[in-house]
Amino acid sequence: MNKYGHIIIRSGLFFFGVTLIGIGVLQVVFADFESVILPYWPDRFPGKLIGVYIASLGLIIPGMVLLLGKDLRKLCLWLGVAFLLLFLIGHLPYRLVHDLHSMGPWTNSLKTLTFSGGALLLAKALPGKGPGLVEKVVPAAPLFIAIFLIFCGIEHFVYAPFVATLVPAWIPGAMFWTYFAGAALIAAGLGILLPMTRRLAAALLGAMIFLWLLMLHIPRAVADPIGLNGNECVSVFEALSFSGFAFVLAVISGRDGRGRGDSRQAADGRL
């Protein structure tokens, strides 16, 4: 892999580490779970504050290791599994009971699934080997991300009037950009599912989300950093990570020119 691919993968690790630290710190500041971590803490279960602090440490410590550590493949694998379990145990049952017929609340739950897919992609990009059972989950990473993209793209059409309000006021044609972004997200999700288009789809997706980070999410976070437990700040961290995941997917999808970034590079100890 050339030096640019190496830089992209290191950047992806950095973006993910910053995101974990940022969300963990926000949870401590607001003494509550961010909705991307847990949708709801039942009142009949005591000890919420303790749970928040433990979960926050469970984000901040791995985030710091991602920024400063080496030999990070196993950590990324376990983070991928942890977020997958968080989705399956913490989000999915609650959404099926309370939000089965409403798309909006599922968005945060599928972001959790995307964190799982992104962590697994980072693991795939790094040399080394993890536990066999955990390794079997890695090939599902693009699917996890594609599900989220297609779902969000559909939401742009279902909730078009609301999404249009998120387009910065200085950009004309808010409804056009709402539909355009929705179509682009669906196309990116479908493109990631197909090996022959995965690299291009991921690269374009990474560029699009990074532009949204600069043009949409950062200005909104500056304007309202504390509303809804710092929701706009969380969106900044999410966009940062998701753009990094997309660029990493583009890099590893181009390893053999066919969209299947296998472990040949890892086998000889190189990225």
Q: Percent of the chain, pLDDT > 90?
A: 80
Instruction: Dump pLDDT digits (tens) for 57-82.
Output: 999 999 999 999 888 999 999 999 99
Please give the average per-residue pLDDT across 249-258, as a whole number.
75
Tell me how far apart the alpha carbons of residues 28 and 265 are, in angstroms, rounded to a whole number. Answer: 40
Q: Where is pLDDT greater, at 175 or 131? A: 175
pLDDT of residue 263 exceeding 60, the answer is: no
Report the predicted TM-score, pTM, of the whole model to 2 decimal places: 0.90
Quote the domain boundaries for residue 58: 3-267
pLDDT of residue 122 exceeding 60, the answer is: yes
Of residues 244, 260, 229, 202, the one with CA closest to residue 36: 229
Q: Where is pLDDT greater, at 87 or 127? A: 87
Q: Where is pLDDT greater, at 31 or 42? A: 31
Q: How many domains does the chain have?
A: 1
Please give the average per-residue pLDDT across 89-93, as a whole number.
93
